[in-house]
Chain A
Amino acid sequence: MHEIDLMPSRLAAFLQRHRDDVESIEVTEYEEMAGGYSRSMARARVRYTSDGVTLEETVVLRGDPPAGHSMIETDRDHEWAVLNALTEMGAIPIPPARYYDGSGEHLGTKAIVMDHVAGGSLQSLIEEMADYGEHPTRLARLWGQIHTITPDQLPDAMIRPESWDARIDELIAAWRACEGASVNSNPTWRYIAAWLEANKPPPLPLRLTHGDPQAPNVMIDHDDNYLVVDWEFAAIGDPREDLGWYNIYSTAAGPNLYEVDPEGFLAAYREATGFGEAEVNQLTIGYFTVLSSIKILGTICGQLDKFVLGENSGSMTALSIGSISFGHDNFINAIDGMQAAFDAMNAAAEGATS
Protein backbone atom coordinates (compact mmCIF):
# COMPACT_ATOMS: atom_id res chain seq x y z
CA MET A 1 0.00 0.00 0.00
CA HIS A 2 2.95 2.29 0.50
CA GLU A 3 4.26 2.07 -3.08
CA ILE A 4 1.44 4.07 -4.57
CA ASP A 5 2.56 3.73 -8.20
CA LEU A 6 2.51 -0.06 -7.96
CA MET A 7 -0.82 -0.34 -6.19
CA PRO A 8 -3.26 -0.24 -9.15
CA SER A 9 -1.69 -3.32 -10.72
CA ARG A 10 -1.14 -5.06 -7.38
CA LEU A 11 -4.70 -4.49 -6.27
CA ALA A 12 -6.11 -5.60 -9.62
CA ALA A 13 -4.12 -8.84 -9.42
CA PHE A 14 -5.21 -9.38 -5.81
CA LEU A 15 -8.88 -8.85 -6.63
CA GLN A 16 -8.58 -11.16 -9.64
CA ARG A 17 -7.49 -13.98 -7.30
CA HIS A 18 -10.85 -13.68 -5.54
CA ARG A 19 -12.98 -13.11 -8.64
CA ASP A 20 -12.34 -15.84 -11.17
CA ASP A 21 -15.88 -15.21 -12.42
CA VAL A 22 -14.69 -11.90 -13.89
CA GLU A 23 -12.66 -11.79 -17.13
CA SER A 24 -10.62 -8.72 -16.31
CA ILE A 25 -10.18 -6.33 -13.44
CA GLU A 26 -8.59 -2.91 -13.77
CA VAL A 27 -7.90 -0.36 -11.05
CA THR A 28 -8.48 2.99 -12.70
CA GLU A 29 -7.86 5.26 -9.73
CA TYR A 30 -5.95 4.81 -6.47
CA GLU A 31 -5.43 7.48 -3.83
CA GLU A 32 -4.35 7.62 -0.21
CA MET A 33 -7.00 8.81 2.23
CA ALA A 34 -6.25 11.27 5.01
CA GLY A 35 -7.96 10.80 8.35
CA GLY A 36 -6.87 7.33 9.34
CA TYR A 37 -4.71 7.93 12.42
CA SER A 38 -3.75 4.38 13.16
CA ARG A 39 -3.82 2.65 9.78
CA SER A 40 -2.94 3.53 6.20
CA MET A 41 -6.11 4.03 4.21
CA ALA A 42 -6.68 4.23 0.47
CA ARG A 43 -9.58 4.45 -1.92
CA ALA A 44 -9.57 2.67 -5.29
CA ARG A 45 -11.85 2.75 -8.29
CA VAL A 46 -12.18 -0.73 -9.80
CA ARG A 47 -13.50 -1.71 -13.24
CA TYR A 48 -14.77 -5.27 -13.81
CA THR A 49 -15.30 -6.57 -17.36
CA SER A 50 -17.00 -9.83 -18.34
CA ASP A 51 -18.68 -10.83 -21.59
CA GLY A 52 -18.47 -7.26 -22.83
CA VAL A 53 -20.24 -5.91 -19.74
CA THR A 54 -18.37 -3.38 -17.60
CA LEU A 55 -19.16 -2.53 -13.99
CA GLU A 56 -17.34 -0.11 -11.73
CA GLU A 57 -17.19 0.36 -7.99
CA THR A 58 -15.06 1.96 -5.31
CA VAL A 59 -13.39 -0.06 -2.57
CA VAL A 60 -11.43 0.96 0.51
CA LEU A 61 -8.13 -0.54 1.64
CA ARG A 62 -7.06 -0.50 5.26
CA GLY A 63 -3.54 -1.65 6.02
CA ASP A 64 -0.60 -1.37 8.36
CA PRO A 65 1.53 1.78 8.10
CA PRO A 66 5.26 1.48 7.28
CA ALA A 67 7.30 -0.06 10.08
CA GLY A 68 8.40 2.51 12.66
CA HIS A 69 5.82 5.09 11.59
CA SER A 70 2.82 3.90 13.50
CA MET A 71 1.19 5.95 16.24
CA ILE A 72 -0.66 2.82 17.35
CA GLU A 73 0.12 -0.89 16.91
CA THR A 74 -2.83 -3.22 16.41
CA ASP A 75 -3.34 -6.64 14.88
CA ARG A 76 -4.89 -6.87 11.40
CA ASP A 77 -5.60 -10.61 11.81
CA HIS A 78 -7.73 -9.78 14.85
CA GLU A 79 -9.55 -6.99 13.03
CA TRP A 80 -10.24 -9.22 10.04
CA ALA A 81 -11.65 -11.98 12.28
CA VAL A 82 -13.97 -9.46 13.96
CA LEU A 83 -15.07 -7.90 10.67
CA ASN A 84 -15.74 -11.31 9.16
CA ALA A 85 -17.84 -12.35 12.15
CA LEU A 86 -19.81 -9.10 12.15
CA THR A 87 -20.33 -9.24 8.38
CA GLU A 88 -21.73 -12.77 8.68
CA MET A 89 -23.81 -11.91 11.73
CA GLY A 90 -25.40 -8.87 10.10
CA ALA A 91 -26.54 -7.50 13.46
CA ILE A 92 -24.29 -4.44 13.42
CA PRO A 93 -24.32 -1.99 10.52
CA ILE A 94 -20.81 -2.08 9.01
CA PRO A 95 -19.42 -1.74 5.49
CA PRO A 96 -19.02 -5.41 4.44
CA ALA A 97 -15.46 -6.72 4.64
CA ARG A 98 -14.47 -8.41 1.36
CA TYR A 99 -10.94 -9.75 1.25
CA TYR A 100 -7.81 -9.86 3.34
CA ASP A 101 -4.15 -10.02 2.42
CA GLY A 102 -3.02 -11.57 5.68
CA SER A 103 0.64 -11.82 4.72
CA GLY A 104 1.16 -8.56 2.86
CA GLU A 105 2.44 -10.62 -0.07
CA HIS A 106 -0.01 -9.08 -2.54
CA LEU A 107 -0.67 -5.55 -1.30
CA GLY A 108 2.71 -4.82 0.27
CA THR A 109 1.36 -4.81 3.82
CA LYS A 110 -1.33 -6.70 5.68
CA ALA A 111 -4.49 -5.08 4.37
CA ILE A 112 -8.26 -5.47 4.38
CA VAL A 113 -10.38 -4.62 1.34
CA MET A 114 -13.89 -3.47 2.16
CA ASP A 115 -16.87 -1.76 0.64
CA HIS A 116 -16.65 1.98 0.21
CA VAL A 117 -19.35 4.04 1.91
CA ALA A 118 -20.56 6.71 -0.48
CA GLY A 119 -21.17 9.40 2.08
CA GLY A 120 -19.30 11.17 4.82
CA SER A 121 -18.55 10.52 8.45
CA LEU A 122 -20.79 11.53 11.31
CA GLN A 123 -17.90 13.73 12.45
CA SER A 124 -17.84 15.77 9.25
CA LEU A 125 -21.63 16.11 9.39
CA ILE A 126 -22.03 17.27 12.99
CA GLU A 127 -19.04 19.61 12.83
CA GLU A 128 -21.17 21.79 10.56
CA MET A 129 -24.33 21.61 12.69
CA ALA A 130 -25.67 24.05 15.24
CA ASP A 131 -28.52 21.71 16.22
CA TYR A 132 -27.63 18.02 16.38
CA GLY A 133 -31.25 16.94 16.11
CA GLU A 134 -31.68 13.19 16.53
CA HIS A 135 -27.98 12.36 16.23
CA PRO A 136 -27.25 12.10 19.99
CA THR A 137 -30.12 9.65 20.44
CA ARG A 138 -29.21 7.70 17.30
CA LEU A 139 -25.59 7.47 18.39
CA ALA A 140 -26.57 6.27 21.87
CA ARG A 141 -28.73 3.58 20.27
CA LEU A 142 -25.93 2.61 17.90
CA TRP A 143 -23.49 2.05 20.75
CA GLY A 144 -26.27 0.18 22.53
CA GLN A 145 -26.83 -2.01 19.47
CA ILE A 146 -23.17 -3.06 19.53
CA HIS A 147 -23.48 -3.85 23.22
CA THR A 148 -26.28 -6.33 22.69
CA ILE A 149 -23.74 -8.72 21.10
CA THR A 150 -22.84 -11.36 23.67
CA PRO A 151 -19.48 -13.18 23.87
CA ASP A 152 -20.94 -16.47 22.61
CA GLN A 153 -21.74 -14.77 19.28
CA LEU A 154 -18.13 -13.72 18.71
CA PRO A 155 -15.12 -15.48 17.14
CA ASP A 156 -13.24 -17.93 19.33
CA ALA A 157 -10.07 -15.96 18.65
CA MET A 158 -11.35 -13.07 20.77
CA ILE A 159 -10.04 -13.15 24.33
CA ARG A 160 -12.75 -13.90 26.89
CA PRO A 161 -12.17 -12.39 30.33
CA GLU A 162 -12.91 -14.85 33.13
CA SER A 163 -15.29 -12.43 34.80
CA TRP A 164 -16.28 -8.79 35.03
CA ASP A 165 -13.85 -8.31 37.91
CA ALA A 166 -11.07 -9.91 35.88
CA ARG A 167 -11.72 -7.50 33.01
CA ILE A 168 -11.74 -4.41 35.22
CA ASP A 169 -8.65 -5.57 37.12
CA GLU A 170 -6.90 -6.20 33.80
CA LEU A 171 -7.57 -2.62 32.67
CA ILE A 172 -6.49 -1.14 36.01
CA ALA A 173 -3.33 -3.26 35.88
CA ALA A 174 -2.70 -1.98 32.35
CA TRP A 175 -2.34 1.58 33.69
CA ARG A 176 0.40 0.37 36.02
CA ALA A 177 2.00 -1.97 33.50
CA CYS A 178 2.24 0.68 30.76
CA GLU A 179 3.69 3.16 33.23
CA GLY A 180 6.16 0.62 34.55
CA ALA A 181 7.34 -0.30 31.06
CA SER A 182 7.67 3.29 29.88
CA VAL A 183 10.85 5.35 29.71
CA ASN A 184 8.90 8.05 31.56
CA SER A 185 7.82 7.66 35.16
CA ASN A 186 4.22 8.89 35.30
CA PRO A 187 2.72 9.63 38.73
CA THR A 188 -0.61 10.64 37.15
CA TRP A 189 -1.12 7.14 35.76
CA ARG A 190 -0.17 5.56 39.06
CA TYR A 191 -2.66 7.79 40.88
CA ILE A 192 -5.34 6.93 38.33
CA ALA A 193 -4.76 3.20 38.85
CA ALA A 194 -4.93 3.53 42.63
CA TRP A 195 -8.12 5.60 42.48
CA LEU A 196 -9.84 3.27 40.01
CA GLU A 197 -9.01 0.29 42.17
CA ALA A 198 -10.58 1.93 45.21
CA ASN A 199 -13.79 3.00 43.47
CA LYS A 200 -15.10 0.20 41.24
CA PRO A 201 -18.66 0.66 39.95
CA PRO A 202 -21.41 -1.99 39.92
CA PRO A 203 -20.84 -4.65 37.24
CA LEU A 204 -22.56 -5.20 33.90
CA PRO A 205 -22.51 -8.30 31.69
CA LEU A 206 -19.52 -8.52 29.35
CA ARG A 207 -20.33 -7.72 25.74
CA LEU A 208 -18.73 -6.86 22.41
CA THR A 209 -17.02 -3.49 22.64
CA HIS A 210 -15.86 -1.50 19.62
CA GLY A 211 -12.87 -0.12 21.49
CA ASP A 212 -12.56 3.15 19.58
CA PRO A 213 -16.09 4.53 19.29
CA GLN A 214 -15.98 8.07 17.96
CA ALA A 215 -17.87 10.10 15.38
CA PRO A 216 -15.13 9.75 12.69
CA ASN A 217 -15.65 5.97 12.94
CA VAL A 218 -19.33 6.27 12.07
CA MET A 219 -20.03 6.66 8.37
CA ILE A 220 -23.39 7.82 7.03
CA ASP A 221 -24.48 6.42 3.67
CA HIS A 222 -26.77 8.11 1.17
CA ASP A 223 -29.78 6.44 2.80
CA ASP A 224 -28.85 8.11 6.09
CA ASN A 225 -27.81 4.81 7.70
CA TYR A 226 -25.03 4.79 10.29
CA LEU A 227 -22.20 2.31 9.53
CA VAL A 228 -19.47 1.59 12.09
CA VAL A 229 -15.87 1.27 10.87
CA ASP A 230 -12.39 0.73 12.38
CA TRP A 231 -12.79 -2.38 14.52
CA GLU A 232 -9.11 -2.84 15.36
CA PHE A 233 -9.68 -2.38 19.11
CA ALA A 234 -12.78 -4.59 19.31
CA ALA A 235 -12.81 -6.76 22.42
CA ILE A 236 -15.05 -8.44 24.93
CA GLY A 237 -15.40 -6.07 27.83
CA ASP A 238 -17.68 -3.91 29.92
CA PRO A 239 -19.98 -2.00 27.54
CA ARG A 240 -19.36 1.23 29.44
CA GLU A 241 -15.75 1.13 28.25
CA ASP A 242 -17.05 2.32 24.88
CA LEU A 243 -19.20 5.09 26.35
CA GLY A 244 -16.23 6.29 28.39
CA TRP A 245 -13.87 6.33 25.43
CA TYR A 246 -16.46 8.09 23.29
CA ASN A 247 -16.75 10.74 25.98
CA ILE A 248 -13.03 11.48 26.34
CA TYR A 249 -12.31 11.30 22.61
CA SER A 250 -15.18 13.62 21.79
CA THR A 251 -14.09 16.03 24.48
CA ALA A 252 -10.73 16.24 22.71
CA ALA A 253 -12.21 16.41 19.21
CA GLY A 254 -15.82 17.49 19.49
CA PRO A 255 -18.66 17.87 19.19
CA ASN A 256 -19.43 15.56 22.08
CA LEU A 257 -22.98 14.30 21.59
CA TYR A 258 -23.02 12.74 25.06
CA GLU A 259 -22.22 16.03 26.73
CA VAL A 260 -25.05 17.84 24.94
CA ASP A 261 -27.58 16.05 27.18
CA PRO A 262 -25.99 13.26 29.24
CA GLU A 263 -29.25 12.11 30.81
CA GLY A 264 -31.04 11.95 27.46
CA PHE A 265 -28.12 10.11 25.88
CA LEU A 266 -27.96 7.56 28.69
CA ALA A 267 -31.73 7.06 28.69
CA ALA A 268 -31.63 6.19 24.98
CA TYR A 269 -28.68 3.88 25.59
CA ARG A 270 -30.41 2.11 28.50
CA GLU A 271 -33.50 1.63 26.37
CA ALA A 272 -31.41 0.04 23.59
CA THR A 273 -29.54 -2.30 25.94
CA GLY A 274 -31.95 -2.97 28.78
CA PHE A 275 -29.28 -1.96 31.29
CA GLY A 276 -30.39 -0.19 34.46
CA GLU A 277 -29.76 3.27 35.86
CA ALA A 278 -27.75 1.91 38.80
CA GLU A 279 -25.13 0.66 36.34
CA VAL A 280 -25.39 3.25 33.57
CA ASN A 281 -25.32 6.78 34.93
CA GLN A 282 -23.08 9.82 34.72
CA LEU A 283 -20.84 8.66 37.56
CA THR A 284 -20.20 5.21 36.10
CA ILE A 285 -19.57 6.73 32.68
CA GLY A 286 -17.09 9.08 34.36
CA TYR A 287 -15.33 6.06 35.85
CA PHE A 288 -15.09 4.34 32.48
CA THR A 289 -14.02 7.57 30.78
CA VAL A 290 -10.86 7.27 32.82
CA LEU A 291 -10.50 3.48 32.97
CA SER A 292 -10.98 2.59 29.31
CA SER A 293 -8.58 5.20 27.98
CA ILE A 294 -5.60 3.01 28.79
CA LYS A 295 -6.47 0.72 25.88
CA ILE A 296 -5.47 3.39 23.38
CA LEU A 297 -3.24 5.63 25.50
CA GLY A 298 -1.23 2.56 26.47
CA THR A 299 -0.36 1.75 22.89
CA ILE A 300 0.33 5.42 22.15
CA CYS A 301 2.67 5.48 25.15
CA GLY A 302 4.46 2.41 23.79
CA GLN A 303 5.00 4.05 20.43
CA LEU A 304 6.27 7.24 22.07
CA ASP A 305 8.77 5.13 24.02
CA LYS A 306 9.95 3.68 20.72
CA PHE A 307 10.26 7.25 19.44
CA VAL A 308 12.57 8.03 22.39
CA LEU A 309 14.64 4.94 21.58
CA GLY A 310 14.86 5.81 17.89
CA GLU A 311 12.59 2.97 16.79
CA ASN A 312 9.64 5.11 15.72
CA SER A 313 9.30 8.52 14.11
CA GLY A 314 6.90 10.82 12.36
CA SER A 315 4.71 13.80 13.06
CA MET A 316 1.72 11.58 13.87
CA THR A 317 3.56 9.89 16.73
CA ALA A 318 5.06 13.16 17.98
CA LEU A 319 1.65 14.80 17.96
CA SER A 320 0.25 12.04 20.15
CA ILE A 321 2.10 13.43 23.19
CA GLY A 322 -0.85 15.84 23.23
CA SER A 323 -3.31 12.94 23.55
CA ILE A 324 -1.56 11.72 26.68
CA SER A 325 -1.35 15.14 28.29
CA PHE A 326 -4.95 15.92 27.35
CA GLY A 327 -5.87 12.78 29.24
CA HIS A 328 -3.91 13.84 32.33
CA ASP A 329 -5.75 17.13 32.60
CA ASN A 330 -9.18 15.62 32.03
CA PHE A 331 -8.70 12.54 34.19
CA ILE A 332 -7.55 14.51 37.21
CA ASN A 333 -10.56 16.79 36.87
CA ALA A 334 -12.89 13.82 36.35
CA ILE A 335 -11.56 12.06 39.44
CA ASP A 336 -11.90 15.29 41.45
CA GLY A 337 -15.54 15.51 40.38
CA MET A 338 -16.33 11.86 41.07
CA GLN A 339 -14.57 11.94 44.43
CA ALA A 340 -16.59 15.01 45.43
CA ALA A 341 -19.80 13.22 44.44
CA PHE A 342 -18.84 10.10 46.42
CA ASP A 343 -17.92 12.23 49.44
CA ALA A 344 -21.29 13.98 49.26
CA MET A 345 -23.12 10.64 48.97
CA ASN A 346 -21.18 9.20 51.90
CA ALA A 347 -21.90 12.28 54.00
CA ALA A 348 -25.59 12.05 53.15
CA ALA A 349 -25.65 8.35 54.02
CA GLU A 350 -23.96 9.04 57.35
CA GLY A 351 -26.41 11.86 58.04
CA ALA A 352 -29.32 9.54 57.35
CA THR A 353 -28.09 6.88 59.76
CA SER A 354 -27.19 9.25 62.61
Chain B
Amino acid sequence: MIVRPTTAQLLRDIRHELATVVGPEVHSATAKVALEQIDIILEQCAVRTGSEIAWMLEEIDEIDEYAADVAAATNDGATTAALDAARAGRRRSLEVDDLVLDYNLMSEALSCAIEACMADPDQRALRERGVDILRTRRAERETVVRANWRLVGRG
Protein backbone atom coordinates (compact mmCIF):
# COMPACT_ATOMS: atom_id res chain seq x y z
CA MET B 1 0.00 0.00 0.00
CA ILE B 2 1.34 3.41 -0.94
CA VAL B 3 0.74 5.41 2.23
CA ARG B 4 2.56 8.57 1.22
CA PRO B 5 1.38 11.06 0.11
CA THR B 6 -1.02 10.76 3.01
CA THR B 7 -4.75 11.21 2.60
CA ALA B 8 -4.42 14.66 4.14
CA GLN B 9 -1.77 15.65 1.61
CA LEU B 10 -3.92 14.45 -1.27
CA LEU B 11 -6.96 16.32 -0.03
CA ARG B 12 -4.99 19.53 0.39
CA ASP B 13 -3.59 19.17 -3.09
CA ILE B 14 -7.11 18.90 -4.47
CA ARG B 15 -8.03 22.04 -2.50
CA HIS B 16 -5.16 23.87 -4.12
CA GLU B 17 -6.14 22.73 -7.61
CA LEU B 18 -9.76 23.68 -7.10
CA ALA B 19 -8.73 27.12 -5.89
CA THR B 20 -6.17 27.86 -8.58
CA VAL B 21 -7.46 26.00 -11.64
CA VAL B 22 -11.21 25.54 -11.23
CA GLY B 23 -12.09 28.58 -9.11
CA PRO B 24 -11.11 31.27 -11.63
CA GLU B 25 -13.35 29.61 -14.25
CA VAL B 26 -16.42 29.64 -12.00
CA HIS B 27 -18.57 32.72 -12.45
CA SER B 28 -22.04 32.00 -11.03
CA ALA B 29 -22.55 33.29 -7.49
CA THR B 30 -24.14 30.05 -6.27
CA ALA B 31 -21.38 27.88 -7.77
CA LYS B 32 -18.71 30.10 -6.19
CA VAL B 33 -20.34 29.63 -2.79
CA ALA B 34 -20.49 25.85 -3.33
CA LEU B 35 -16.81 25.80 -4.29
CA GLU B 36 -15.85 27.74 -1.19
CA GLN B 37 -17.87 25.33 0.95
CA ILE B 38 -16.17 22.36 -0.70
CA ASP B 39 -12.79 23.91 0.05
CA ILE B 40 -13.66 24.13 3.76
CA ILE B 41 -14.98 20.56 3.84
CA LEU B 42 -11.83 19.22 2.17
CA GLU B 43 -9.64 20.93 4.77
CA GLN B 44 -11.81 19.52 7.56
CA CYS B 45 -11.47 16.05 6.04
CA ALA B 46 -7.71 16.51 5.85
CA VAL B 47 -7.54 17.38 9.54
CA ARG B 48 -9.90 14.58 10.57
CA THR B 49 -8.28 11.84 8.59
CA GLY B 50 -4.95 12.33 10.33
CA SER B 51 -6.23 11.91 13.87
CA GLU B 52 -9.77 10.59 14.17
CA ILE B 53 -8.84 6.96 14.90
CA ALA B 54 -6.38 7.94 17.61
CA TRP B 55 -8.83 10.43 19.12
CA MET B 56 -11.72 7.96 19.27
CA LEU B 57 -9.56 5.27 20.84
CA GLU B 58 -8.16 7.64 23.44
CA GLU B 59 -11.61 8.90 24.36
CA ILE B 60 -13.15 5.42 24.56
CA ASP B 61 -10.57 4.41 27.15
CA GLU B 62 -11.00 7.61 29.13
CA ILE B 63 -14.80 7.33 29.21
CA ASP B 64 -14.58 3.68 30.22
CA GLU B 65 -12.57 4.66 33.30
CA TYR B 66 -14.75 7.67 34.09
CA ALA B 67 -18.07 5.85 33.71
CA ALA B 68 -16.80 3.05 35.93
CA ASP B 69 -15.92 5.61 38.63
CA VAL B 70 -19.37 7.21 38.35
CA ALA B 71 -21.13 3.85 38.48
CA ALA B 72 -19.18 2.97 41.61
CA ALA B 73 -19.86 6.32 43.29
CA THR B 74 -23.54 6.62 42.43
CA ASN B 75 -24.79 3.07 41.81
CA ASP B 76 -26.59 4.55 38.83
CA GLY B 77 -28.26 1.76 36.89
CA ALA B 78 -28.31 3.56 33.55
CA THR B 79 -24.57 4.27 33.70
CA THR B 80 -23.78 0.70 34.66
CA ALA B 81 -25.97 -0.70 31.88
CA ALA B 82 -24.55 1.64 29.26
CA LEU B 83 -20.98 0.89 30.30
CA ASP B 84 -21.62 -2.86 30.27
CA ALA B 85 -23.17 -2.57 26.80
CA ALA B 86 -20.23 -0.53 25.51
CA ARG B 87 -17.70 -2.99 26.87
CA ALA B 88 -19.56 -6.02 25.58
CA GLY B 89 -20.08 -4.43 22.19
CA ARG B 90 -16.47 -3.42 21.57
CA ARG B 91 -15.26 -4.73 18.25
CA ARG B 92 -11.61 -3.90 19.00
CA SER B 93 -11.01 -3.18 15.36
CA LEU B 94 -9.31 -0.15 13.86
CA GLU B 95 -11.64 -0.08 10.88
CA VAL B 96 -13.34 3.32 11.08
CA ASP B 97 -16.82 1.85 10.57
CA ASP B 98 -16.28 -0.46 13.55
CA LEU B 99 -14.67 2.16 15.71
CA VAL B 100 -17.50 4.70 15.30
CA LEU B 101 -19.88 2.04 16.65
CA ASP B 102 -17.64 1.47 19.68
CA TYR B 103 -17.35 5.21 20.17
CA ASN B 104 -21.10 5.66 19.96
CA LEU B 105 -21.78 3.03 22.60
CA MET B 106 -19.19 4.48 24.95
CA SER B 107 -20.59 7.98 24.35
CA GLU B 108 -23.92 6.78 25.69
CA ALA B 109 -22.12 5.66 28.86
CA LEU B 110 -20.64 9.16 29.17
CA SER B 111 -24.09 10.73 28.76
CA CYS B 112 -25.56 8.52 31.46
CA ALA B 113 -22.64 9.15 33.80
CA ILE B 114 -22.89 12.94 33.53
CA GLU B 115 -26.67 12.79 33.99
CA ALA B 116 -26.20 10.70 37.12
CA CYS B 117 -23.78 13.29 38.50
CA MET B 118 -26.13 16.16 37.60
CA ALA B 119 -28.87 14.46 39.59
CA ASP B 120 -26.70 14.11 42.69
CA PRO B 121 -25.36 17.35 44.23
CA ASP B 122 -22.71 15.37 46.11
CA GLN B 123 -21.07 14.36 42.83
CA ARG B 124 -20.02 17.83 41.73
CA ALA B 125 -16.35 16.85 41.34
CA LEU B 126 -17.21 13.79 39.24
CA ARG B 127 -19.58 15.85 37.16
CA GLU B 128 -16.84 18.38 36.45
CA ARG B 129 -14.53 15.55 35.43
CA GLY B 130 -17.16 14.41 32.91
CA VAL B 131 -17.65 17.92 31.58
CA ASP B 132 -13.89 18.17 31.24
CA ILE B 133 -14.01 15.17 28.87
CA LEU B 134 -16.65 17.01 26.83
CA ARG B 135 -14.47 20.09 26.78
CA THR B 136 -11.02 18.71 26.16
CA ARG B 137 -11.73 15.52 24.25
CA ARG B 138 -14.71 16.66 22.22
CA ALA B 139 -15.13 20.42 21.96
CA GLU B 140 -11.45 21.25 21.64
CA ARG B 141 -10.86 18.56 19.03
CA GLU B 142 -13.98 19.55 17.14
CA THR B 143 -12.58 23.07 17.08
CA VAL B 144 -9.43 21.72 15.46
CA VAL B 145 -11.50 19.75 12.93
CA ARG B 146 -13.61 22.82 12.09
CA ALA B 147 -10.38 24.26 10.69
CA ASN B 148 -11.25 27.20 8.43
CA TRP B 149 -15.02 26.75 8.88
CA ARG B 150 -17.22 29.79 8.38
CA LEU B 151 -20.75 30.45 7.18
CA VAL B 152 -19.86 31.04 3.55
CA GLY B 153 -22.05 33.24 1.43
CA ARG B 154 -24.34 34.55 4.14
CA GLY B 155 -25.51 38.10 4.00
Asked whether any CB of chain A lies closer than 8 Å to the CB of B96, the reply is no
A interface with B by C-beta (< 8 Å) = 32-35, 37, 121, 123-124, 127, 179, 183-188, 190-191, 194-195, 198, 215-216, 252-253, 315-316, 318-319, 321-323, 325-326, 328-329, 332, 336
Question: Considering the complex, which residues of chain B in the window 98-126 have a beta carbon less than 8 Å from any beta carbon of chain A?
Answer: 104-105, 107-108, 110-111, 114-115, 118-119
Contact of A322 (CB < 8 Å), options: B115, B135, B149: B149
Flag if A315 contacts B154 (CB, 8 Å).
Answer: no
New A-B pairs, 8, CB < 8 Å, besides A37-B153, A123-B154, A332-B135: A33-B30, A34-B32, A34-B33, A183-B104, A185-B104, A185-B107, A319-B40, A328-B139
Which 5 A-B residue pairings sit nearest by Cβ, starting from the closest?
Answer: A123-B155, A325-B142, A322-B149, A185-B107, A190-B111
Flag if B37 contacts A315 (CB, 8 Å).
Answer: yes
Flag if A325 contacts B118 (CB, 8 Å).
Answer: no
In the complex, per-residue mask of B70-110: 1 if CB is within 8 Å of any chain A CB, else 0: 00000000000000000000000000000000001101101
B interface with A by C-beta (< 8 Å) = 28-30, 32-34, 37-38, 40-41, 44, 104-105, 107-108, 110-111, 114-115, 118-119, 130-131, 133-135, 138-140, 142-143, 145-146, 149-155
Flag if A329 contacts B107 (CB, 8 Å).
Answer: no
Which A residue's beta carbon lies closest to that of B39? Answer: A315
Flag if A198 contacts B32 (CB, 8 Å).
Answer: no
Instruction: Give the CA-CA distance A326 to B151 in the complex, in Å.
Output: 11
Instruction: Give the CA-CA distance A184 to B135 in the complex, in Å.
Output: 18
Name the residue among B107, B138, B139 with the largest chain A CB count within 10 angstroms. B139
Residues of A within 8 A of B28 (CB): 32
Query: Chain B's interface: helix, strand, loop or mixed, by majority?
Result: helix
Please give the distance in Å from B46's CB to the nearest CB on chain A: 14
Contact of A332 (CB < 8 Å), options: B108, B131, B150: B131
Which A residue's beta carbon lies closest to that of B144? Answer: A325
Please give the distance in Å from B151's CB to the nearest CB on chain A: 4
Name the residue among A33, A34, A186, A321 with the largest chain B CB count within 10 angstroms. A34
Residues of B within 8 A of A37 (CB): 151, 153-154
Instruction: Give the CA-CA distance A237 to B153 in the complex, in Å.
Output: 29
Please give the distance in Å from A235's CB to the nearest CB on chain B: 22
Please give the distance in Å from B112's CB to the nearest CB on chain A: 8
Q: Can you identify 11 A-B contacts, CB atoms within 8 angstroms?
A: A32-B29, A34-B29, A37-B154, A123-B155, A124-B155, A185-B111, A194-B118, A216-B155, A315-B34, A328-B142, A329-B142
Instruction: Give the CA-CA distance A79 to B150 in the complex, in Å.
Output: 27
Residues of B within 8 A of A190 (CB): 111, 114-115
Flag if A32 contacts B131 (CB, 8 Å).
Answer: no
Given A191-B114, A328-B134, A328-B138, are A35 and B154 also a contact pair (CB < 8 Å)? yes
Given A37-B151, A315-B34, A322-B149, are A191 and B142 also a contact pair (CB < 8 Å)? no
Given A124-B155, A316-B37, A318-B41, are A198 and B114 also a contact pair (CB < 8 Å)? no
Residues of B within 8 A of A32 (CB): 28-30
Residues of B within 8 A of A253 (CB): 150-151, 154-155
Residues of B within 8 A of A34 (CB): 29-30, 32-33, 153
